[in-house]
Structure 1
Amino acid sequence: MKRPVAWGAPPAERADAVRNRLHLLNTARRMLAEQGADRLTMDALAERAGLGKGTVFRRFGSRAGIFQALLDDDEHAFQEQVLSGPPPLGPGAAPLDRLIAYGRARTGFLVEHRDIARAALGGSRPVPIRRRTPMSQVHVRMLLGQLELAGADLDMLAVQLTGALDGPVLLYLSSEEFTDAVEEAGSRIGQAWQDLVERACRP
Structure 2
Amino acid sequence: MSPKHPDTITDRESETKSRRPGRPPFPRELVLAAADALFADADAPKSVSMDDIAAAAGVGKATLFRAFGSRDGLLDALFAARAAPLRAELERPDSPLGPKAPPLDRILALFDELVSFKFNNPHLTAAREVSGMLQAPDYVWMHTTLRSLIEQTDSAAAESADYVAHVLLGGLRVDVIDELLASGRSRDDIRRDVAVLVRSVLAPAQ
For residue 202 of structure 1, the aligned residue among 197, 201, 204 is 204
1:20 counterpart residue number:
27
CA distance in 2, matches of 1:80, 1:136: 13
Shift of 1:32: 4.8
Equivalent of residue 29 in structure 1, options 4, 16, 36 = 36
Structure 2: runs of 5 or more not aligned: 1-17
Find out whether 1:87 has 2:95 as its counterpart: yes
In structure 1, stretches of 5+ residues that fail to align are 1-13
Matches within 5 A, 1:10-159: 19-32=26-39, 35-36=41-42, 40-60=48-68, 63=71, 65-84=73-92, 87-120=95-128, 130-131=133-134, 133-147=139-153, 149=154, 152=156, 154-157=158-161, 159=163
In structure 2, what residue type is equivalent to 1:202?
P
Structure 1 residues 141 and 19 mapped into 2: Cα distance closer, same or farther (>3 Å)? same
CA–CA distance in structure 1, aligned partners of residues 70 and 182 of structure 2: 27
Q: 1:162 to 1:191 in 2, by over 3 A?
A: farther
Q: Deviations over 1:153-189 (max 9, x none)?
A: 51314532441214653241353x635968x2x4333
Give how far 1:101 is off: 0.4
* Corresponding position: 1:178 with 2:181: yes
Secondary structure in 2 matching 1:88: coil
- Aligned-residue offset at 1:144: 3.8
Secondary structure of 1:131's match?
Answer: helix
Q: How far, CA to CA, are the matches of 1:164 and 1:154 in structure 2?
A: 13
Q: TM-score, normalised by structure 1?
A: 0.63
Amino acid at match of 2:146: V
RMSD over aligned CA atoms reads 3.8
Q: How far does the alpha carbon of each residue in 1:91-148 deviate from its partner, in whole angstroms, 9 at most, with x for none?
A: 3333322111011112322343332233235x65xxxx7327333343334334544x
Sort the Cα spacing of 1:82 and 1:197 in 2 relative to 1 into closer, same or farther, 3 A.
same
Aligned residue pairs, count = 179
Residue 192 of structure 1 and its aligned partner are, at CA, apart by 2.0
State whether residues 82 and 90 of structure 1, in contact with CA within 8 Å, keep that contact through their aligned partners in structure 2.
Answer: yes
- Taking the aligned partners of 1:91 and 1:55, their CA distance within structure 2 comes to 41
The verdict on how the C-alpha distance between 1:43 and 1:180 changes in structure 2, with shifts beyond 3 A counting, is farther
Give identity over the alignment, percent: 24
Separation in 2, partners of 1:153, 1:119 = 31
